[in-house]
Amino acid sequence: MKKTILSLALVLATGLLFAQKKTTTSAVISFDATTALDALPKAENKTVIASLDTKTGKLAFEATIKNFAFSNPRIQEHFNNKGWMDSDNFPTAGFAGTISDLSAVKFAKNGVYMVTVKGDLTLHGVTKTIEAPATITVDGTSIKAASVFGIKLADYGVDGAAIGAGKVSKEPTITVSAGF
């Protein structure tokens, strides 16, 4: 009986310790690289892995490049080729950072909290520090994180012919969202 109670207490304590780290395998990253010449360079990836540690504010995302879906399969093929994302050599993109103003978020209280996220974005084998606004929404036991920001593709060594021709924006808008 004592072993059962001790085991149950250990399981409960372990559950409480790990409750601060939230994860999902269905976060979404989308980007819009449309220009006046082409409205099709838009894609979405609904299989992004994300984690949020409510205690430390650490936030991370990882996306498989080949999982970005386009409305036009030909654009998807170009996107994954060497002249663009070269997904065979750079199969993933990721972000690892923290919520800069974590004390502004009350994870035990329902609300919408505007924060800043800062960390390292790795894309096409290049890592750059970025800072972006984000929204954390707490609703009961549900936590949602979302951010919209832009990047310069040239900063990450992405310079395909379509960019030079003006068919793909040099600074796409990226939207990230996750429900934990």
Q: What is the pLDDT of residues 129-154, one digit of tens each?
A: 999 999 999 999 999 999 999 999 99
* Predicted pLDDT at 133: 98
pLDDT-based confidence at 19, cuts 50/70/90?
low
Query: Domain residues of the chain, as ranges?
Result: 21-179
pLDDT of residue 6: 40
pLDDT at 160 over 50: yes
- C-alpha span between 158 and 84 (Å, rounded): 6
Asked if pLDDT for residue 97 goes beyond 60, the answer is yes
Taking the C-alpha atoms of residue 36 and residue 169, their distance in angstroms, rounded to an integer, is: 9
100: buried, middle or exposed (CB in 10 Å: 19+, 13-18, 0-12)?
Answer: middle
Q: How does residue 11 score in pLDDT terms, banded at 50, 70 and 90?
A: very low
Q: Can you tell me whether residue 102 is helix, strand or coil?
A: helix
pTM: 0.84
The domain over range 21-179 is classified in CATH as 2.40.128.110: yes
In the chain, pLDDT over 90 holds for what percent of residues? 74
Q: What is the CB neighbour count within 10 angstroms for residue 77?
A: 11
What are the residues whose beta carbons fall under 8 Å from the beta carbon of 102, sequence distance 6 or more?
56, 57, 115
Please tell me the distance from the alpha carbon of residue 41 to that of residue 172, in angstroms, as a whole number: 9
Average of per-residue pLDDT across 81-99? 95
Instruction: Give the pLDDT confidence of 24-70 residue by residue, as tens digits.
Output: 999 999 999 999 988 888 999 999 999 999 999 999 999 999 999 99
Q: Which residues pair with 175 in a beta bridge?
A: 30, 148
